[in-house]
Amino acid sequence: MTVYDRIGRGYATTRGPDPRIAAQVVAALGGMTSVVNVGAGTGSYEPAETIVAVEPSSTMIAQRPAGTAACVRGTAEALPLSSGSVDAALAVLTVHHWTDVEAGIAELRRVARKRVVILTWDQRVFREFWLVREYLPAAAAVSAGHAVPIPLIAELLPGARVEPVPVPHDCTDGFGAAFWRRPEAYLDPRVRAGISMLAQAHPRDLVDGLSALTADLESGAWHERHRELSTLDRLDAGYRLIVGG
């Protein structure tokens, strides 16, 4: 059983692609006509040009909507594709789950003739996000333990450019910082189940922080302390696109 066979059961209910982030991913792919989506999950951010998806969890594969690309069960570290068989390889919010990032990125480079696009986060920025900094240090520890350093990815993709991916205030994907201006959302267990740093932390270690957040929302202390957030439409919480090739 893979991790996502356990934590991914309700993934499709809270995790769908945000159209503004999807547009940024499509722009990064820049007209590539054949794409492999690696760590594809339920198919979020998968462009129409995707000819095959690769995903290890059958629970995630089972939630792929009808009409999405054919999906092969496999891992990034050993892609079931021949060398140079696609224009581009895409990996969205997945590298932090790989057991061997260097091998996985070498595989993306092996199968993609022209471009590799990776979406992940920069922990140096993400660790300042109010949820993990002020309330949930246990989740911060999970996220720090999983984070793949951006300089390491850039080193593995020589010449790559790194683009910030700001999170819209009404982001329709439910990843870690998606609810930065909607703090009440983090009190919903279904929302937390779709965020791996919260799903993988021990529930006992989140109790005090969630109680403190509840109290601060009721008293108005959260809104007082984060008044500046209500003036922003987008936030740089550390998400980054790395575009190589």
Ligand X SMILES: C[S@@+](CC[C@H](N)C(=O)[O-])C[C@H]1O[C@@H](n2cnc3c(N)ncnc32)[C@H](O)[C@@H]1O
The nearest distance, CB 222 to ligand X, in angstroms, is 27
* 213: number of Cβ within 10 Å: 22
Q: Which is nearer to ligand X, 76 or 147 (CB)?
A: 76
The nearest distance, CB 70 to ligand X, in angstroms, is 16
Q: Which is nearer to ligand X, 131 or 196 (CB)?
A: 196
The nearest distance, CB 211 to ligand X, in angstroms, is 27
Which tokens is 84 given?
């140079």
How far apart (Å, rounded) are the C-alpha atoms in residues 124 and 137?
A: 15
Q: Which is nearer to ligand X, 28 or 216 (CB)?
A: 28
Residue with tokens 């790194």: 162
Q: Which is nearer to ligand X, 93 or 131 (CB)?
A: 93
Residues forming contacts to ligand X in the complex (CB under 6 A) are 2, 4, 15, 38-41, 44-45, 55-57, 60, 75-77, 92-94, 97-99, 196
How far apart (Å, rounded) are the C-alpha atoms in residues 199 and 174?
A: 13
In sequence order, the 6+-apart residues with CB closer than 8 A to the CB of 85 are 34, 36, 111
Reported in sequence order, the residue ranges of the chain that DSSP labels E, i.e. its strands, are: 35-38, 50-55, 71-73, 86-92, 112-121, 161-164, 167-168, 234-235, 239-244
The nearest distance, CB 81 to ligand X, in angstroms, is 13
Query: Which residue is at the shortest CB distance from ligand X?
Result: 41
